[in-house]
């Protein structure tokens, strides 16, 4: 099943899952690594001897859940994103699930997101409690997700929910050319879904700042309205002049025979 669908079988999962007794004691690692590949950063990250030394670099991780203190240091070290930490003792109602997350934009604490199972199906709304994203984490942020206990063993990933947009149409997006959020929304509704198209029609991004401020806002608006991710979209093309130039200056340059 793993080879065909990428989803482990219940038997494979059971083999690597901590016992009920261990889960009752506090946070504990779950390593769902099922392929024999030359990799061992999980072992080198763990200073509790919870992930045993690999005899052969291709071995599967050998985890001693009783030695694990749930520190989570190994989560961001795993290139396969195969490690999470589950704390069934977090509160009376909720468990804490810590997962690696390498997508953008990152959620922020307080966001309500979709809790997904191993097949990517939504199980339940979950709350982002914390986002860890320090330099120590090898560019793999770790999300702390508060999950209703009944779902906590099955929630292994998350997907953001569309954000409700409360910003008014009158909000100025491009201060250089007085373009509002309403203007951008109208453009996208009319079928102009690239930054370049919107720039040419509204002049947003053509002022002295050359889109430094409005470019990202326009991208985000297109992304929200079209459902495309920000990564799929581009900021468009920017060309000189990069600052306002008076016609007189251009004329003087021409009189001197210089190129403008
Ligand atoms: S959570 Fe901490 S103690 Fe547990 S296996 Fe990972 S690094 Fe080791
Ligand atoms: S670091 Fe991750 S992918 Fe590599 S062996 Fe450990 S759990 Fe598996």
Ligand 1 centroid from CA 117, angstroms: 23
Mutation probe of ligand 1 site: the residue of 28, 30, 40, 50 with most atoms within 8 A of C-beta:
50
- Residue 169 · residue 112 · CB < 8 Å: no
Q: What is the pTM of this model?
A: 0.69
Strand partners, 142: 100, 132
Residue 54 CA: nearest ligand 2 atom is: 5
Residue with the smallest CA separation from ligand 1 atom 7 is: 46
Where in the sequence is the domain holding 191, given as residue range(s)? 163-260
Lowest mean pLDDT segment, chosen from 19-23, 75-79, 104-108, 255-259: 255-259
Are 34 and 111 within one domain?
yes
Could you read off the pLDDT of 109-120 as tens digits, one per residue? 999 999 999 999
Are 175 and 259 within one domain?
yes
Are 111 and 214 within one domain?
no
The predicted pLDDT at position 259 comes to: 58
Which letter does DSSP use for residue 208 in this model? T
Q: pLDDT at residue 201 above 80?
A: yes
Are 149 and 39 within one domain?
yes
Are 252 and 137 within one domain?
no
Are 140 and 173 within one domain?
no
The predicted pLDDT at position 1 comes to: 65
The predicted pLDDT at position 114 comes to: 96
Ligand 1 centroid from CA 40, angstroms: 13
Ligand 2 centroid from CA 42, angstroms: 6
The predicted pLDDT at position 79 comes to: 94
> Alpha helices, DSSP H only, in the chain?
2-5, 10-16, 20-23, 41-45, 181-189, 195-202, 214-226, 247-255
The predicted pLDDT at position 226 comes to: 76
Dihedral sign for Cα 234, 238, 243, 246, please. negative
The predicted pLDDT at position 163 comes to: 65
Residues with a CB atom less than 6 Å from ligand 1: 29, 45-46, 48, 50-51, 68-74, 85
């Amino acid at each position: 099943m793993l080879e065909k669908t990428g989803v482990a079988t219940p038997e494979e999962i059971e083999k690597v899952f901590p016992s009920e007794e261990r889960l009752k004691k506090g946070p504990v690692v779950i390593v769902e690594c099922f392929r024999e590949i030359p990799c061992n950063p999980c072992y080198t990250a763990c200073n509790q001897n919870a992930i045993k030394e690999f005899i052969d670099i291709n071995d599967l991780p050998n985890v001693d859940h009783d030695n694990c203190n749930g520190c989570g240091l190994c989560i961001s070290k795993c290139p396969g994103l195969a490690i999470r930490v589950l704390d069934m003792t977090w509160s009376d109602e909720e468990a804490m699930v810590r997962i690696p997350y390498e997508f953008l934009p990152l959620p922020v604490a307080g966001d309500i997101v979709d809790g997904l199972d191993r097949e990517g199906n939504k199980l339940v709304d979950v709350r982002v409690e914390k986002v860890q994203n320090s330099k120590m984490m090898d560019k793999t942020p770790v999300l702390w997700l508060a999950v209703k206990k009944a779902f906590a063993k099955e929630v292994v990933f998350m997907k953001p929910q569309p954000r409700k947009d409360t910003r008014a149409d009158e909000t100025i997006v491009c201060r250089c050319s007085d373009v509002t959020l309403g203007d951008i929304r109208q453009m996208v509704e009319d079928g102009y879904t690239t930054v370049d198209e919107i720039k040419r029609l509204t002049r947003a991004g053509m002022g002295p700042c050359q889109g430094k401020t409005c470019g990202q806002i326009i991208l985000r608006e297109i992304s929200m309205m079209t459902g495309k991710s920000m990564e799929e979209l581009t900021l468009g093309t920017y060309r000189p002049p990069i600052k306002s130039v008076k016609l007189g200056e251009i004329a003087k340059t021409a009189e001197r025979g210089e190129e403008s």
